[in-house]
Amino acid sequence: MKALKLIGLQIKVNFGISALRWHLENDLKRFFGSVGLILLVAVSIGPLFFFYLRMLQSAYDLAGALGQPGVIIASAVVLASLLVLVFGLSYVMSVFYFSKDLSMLVPLPLRPAEILGAKFAVVLLYDYLTAAPFYLPALWVYGVNSGSGPLYWVAGMIIFLLVPVIPLALTSAFMLLLMRLTNLSRKRDTVRLIGLFAFLAILLAVNFSLTAIPAGDERQYLEKILLEEQGLVNYSTRAYPPALFAARALTAGGASALLNFAWFLGISLAGIALVLWLGQRMFYQGLIGASEVERGKVLSREELARKTAGASSPALAIAMREIKYLLRTPIYLFNSLAMLVIVPVVLLIPLITGDGMGSFLSTFQDGVPRMLQILGGAVFTGVMALFTPAASSSFSREGKLFWISQVIPVSPPEQIRGKVIYSLLIAALFVPVVALAGILLLSWGIIDVLLAALAGMVLSLPAITSSLLIDLLRPYLTWDNPQKAIKQNFNVLFGMAAGGGFYFLLYLAGRYVYDNTAALWPVYLTVLGGAALAGLIFYLILIKIAPARYRDIVV
């Protein structure tokens, strides 16, 4: 009973249910504003959802012709589970170990497993939001096209409730072990960050190795998969075997479906049991030292005089403050730089395994003009800037300490410049990835690399400045654990939507210019000129409204 009450309390706190109820009774404007934001996010992703449904329908038609329509269920479970596993790493760390309510929960007469179980339930509810857009459309497409009965829909919803459990259990078990092993290390934040990135890299490497197609035997291998009964389903679930049980539970029928459902349920319950067992033995040990701050280095008078003798630009000082804050908060660093690990691993593994990349690269290098290759590398940098929450959560990450930015002797426009510089530096971290890919895979020269780097920085500007503008207009400063400043911050989603919409407009403009000129230089200039102009406009708006916004924001 205590555990259930604790779970209910955690849900109310983390999802803001009590606050929403209070706004409904006392502040309807704030209530409808919150609901409106949720609806706006739902509407903004509507086109992507429609495209995903169309893609699933096409996949069902193709797989159905091969007698293997169940592959769309299997693939959806694999995709949803992989996303929960990858993006749950930093969130599990934040909710388990950096929530402010731990100082109140730990002294209570509660077992470690009860506290951990309540927090596991909170993360699980959030993971349903991650799994739902990928699993539920596949469930719908298969069920409608196959004419499935009521038992299918009941089983499908139960499996939906179980889909995030296994990957979340694996993530939680890893995090409990990591925090337990590093809790007393002087460089525990650095070691934990290395552990997170290493786990991510190993996960991707294992996934690629299990799903790799043998080089030289691609045709025979694919023919075997297509001709073998349920070959596509078996292949798509090689990287994540539990998905095979989920898919067969919904598509096999009869006793086989019941048996596979039992297997999937049993593995899910075993995962929860493992987390609770580890939590009872390791949770408190991992908390030891979590709130301690390492003593700073003692400076001599000469060192202090040397460090304070010079003065840097206020904007550069703000940028350095942002960088130091990022480095001192592993959760922010992992969320901001996870793609910097994922992308090189994704590029390197097919080359190492020989997964049919040689012929593709040869065709791409010979068939795509060099100018488009360079523009593609620049677009990659811009898109990475869009998906990195450095700018879209820049003000929100300051939280209740935002008052410091309001009182320091640095004008708001200078602080805006510093945040732009910081965000550009984060985007610039992806330039070496583009450069290495271009040099090693596409035989780029130094001029090509420089052009791609410069164009990438220009294309990053509209994503950075528009995201900063959104976060300045409505900063989320009332979070109670650092992860919420990113994962529960609508500004991150709004920044992605705004930047994505603008990049789509740039694509349309470039396509229009090419259709009318059949030349690449005008396309290059149009795209880069449009990005530079938009970035400048958003920046000027930021500078204009910054003094009033800094004055009006109440922490």
Residue-wise pLDDT for 169-205, tens only, equals: 999 998 888 888 877 666 777 777 778 778 877 877 7
pLDDT-above-90 percentage for the chain: 15
Same domain, 341 and 476: yes
Same domain, 324 and 273: no
Distances (CA, A) of 94 to 184, 334, 486, 537: 18, 11, 11, 36
The residue among 168, 142, 162 whose CA lies nearest residue 82 is 168
| Higher-pLDDT residue of 341, 548 | 548
Write out the two tokens for 109: 């007469």
Same domain, 278 and 324: no
Whole-angstrom Cα distance, residue 386 to residue 388?
Answer: 6
- CA–centroid distance for 36 within its chain: 24
Specify if 299 maps to a domain: no
Amino acid identity of residue 421, one-letter, is: I
Write out the two tokens for 400: 């209740």
Amino acid 221: pLDDT = 62
Running DSSP on this structure, what letter comes out for residue 400?
G
Same domain, 335 and 252: no
- Taken in order 266, 269, 274, 280, the sign of the CA dihedral is negative
Running DSSP on this structure, what letter comes out for residue 216?
T
Distances (CA, A) of 304 to 24, 239, 307, 309, 415: 54, 55, 5, 8, 25
Specify if 34 maps to a domain: no
Residue-wise pLDDT for 58-107, tens only, equals: 888 888 877 788 888 888 898 888 888 877 777 787 788 777 777 777 78
| Higher-pLDDT residue of 89, 36 | 89
Specify if 120 maps to a domain: yes
- Taken in order 486, 491, 494, 496, the sign of the CA dihedral is negative
Count of CB atoms within 10 A of residue 81's CB?
Answer: 27
Write out the two tokens for 189: 């934040």
Exposure string over 404-442, b if 16+ CB within 10 A, otherwise e: ebeeeebebbbbbbbbbbbbbebbebbbebbbebbeebb
Write out the two tokens for 134: 């990928």
Whole-angstrom Cα distance, residue 58 to residue 362?
Answer: 29
Count of CB atoms within 10 A of residue 329's CB?
Answer: 18
- Average pLDDT score over residue span 346-357: 52
CB 426 within 8 A of CB 468: no
Highest mean pLDDT among 39-53, 81-95, 398-412, 491-505: 398-412
Q: Is 289 left (phi over 0), alpha (psi -120 to 50) or beta?
A: left
Whole-angstrom Cα distance, residue 291 to residue 482?
Answer: 13
Specify if 235 maps to a domain: yes
Domains identified in the chain, total number = 2
Same domain, 507 and 433: yes
- Average pLDDT score over residue span 492-500: 82
Write out the two tokens for 536: 């400048």
Helix, strand and coil content of the chain, in percent to the nearest 5, comes to 80, 0, 20
Specify if 25 maps to a domain: no
Whole-angstrom Cα distance, residue 54 to residue 72?
Answer: 12
Residue-wise pLDDT for 284-301, tens only, equals: 877 765 555 455 556 566
- Average pLDDT score over residue span 353-370: 60
Same domain, 405 and 473: yes
* pLDDT for residue 530 is more than 70: yes
Q: What is the DSSP string of 158-215?
A: HHHHHTTHHHHHHHHHHHHHHHHHHTT-TTHHHHHHHHHHHHHHHHHHHHHHHHPPPT
Residue 149's pLDDT band (cuts 50, 70, 90): confident
Residue 444 CB partners (closer than 8 Å, separation 6+): 373, 374, 435, 438, 452
Residue 68: give the domain boundaries.
45-216+226-287
Write out the two tokens for 388: 């990195």
Count of CB atoms within 10 A of residue 206's CB?
Answer: 12
Same domain, 545 and 407: yes
The structure tokens 């019941």 sit at: 258
Same domain, 280 and 343: no
Same domain, 259 and 407: no
Specify if 525 maps to a domain: yes
Amino acid identity of residue 340, one-letter, is: L
Highest mean pLDDT among 227-231, 409-413, 497-501: 409-413
Running DSSP on this structure, what letter comes out for residue 292?
-
| Higher-pLDDT residue of 259, 333 | 259
Whole-angstrom Cα distance, residue 551 to residue 420?
Answer: 20
Count of CB atoms within 10 A of residue 208's CB?
Answer: 18
Same domain, 385 and 510: yes
Specify if 272 maps to a domain: yes
- Average pLDDT score over residue span 515-522: 84
Same domain, 77 and 145: yes
Specify if 517 maps to a domain: yes
| pLDDT, mean over the chain | 80
CB-facing half-sphere around the CA of 21: CA atoms within 13 A: 6
- Count how many residues are written for the chain: 555
| Higher-pLDDT residue of 195, 23 | 195
Exposure string over 262-297, b if 16+ CB within 10 A, otherwise e: ebbbebbeebbeebbebbeebbbebbebeeeeeeee
The residue among 158, 250, 240, 165 whose CA lies nearest residue 203 is 240
Write out the two tokens for 238: 């090689």
Tell me the three state secondary structure of residue 30. helix
* pLDDT for residue 266 is more than 90: yes
Amino acid 226: pLDDT = 66
The structure tokens 């280095």 sit at: 297
Write out the two tokens for 425: 């530096």
Same domain, 99 and 160: yes
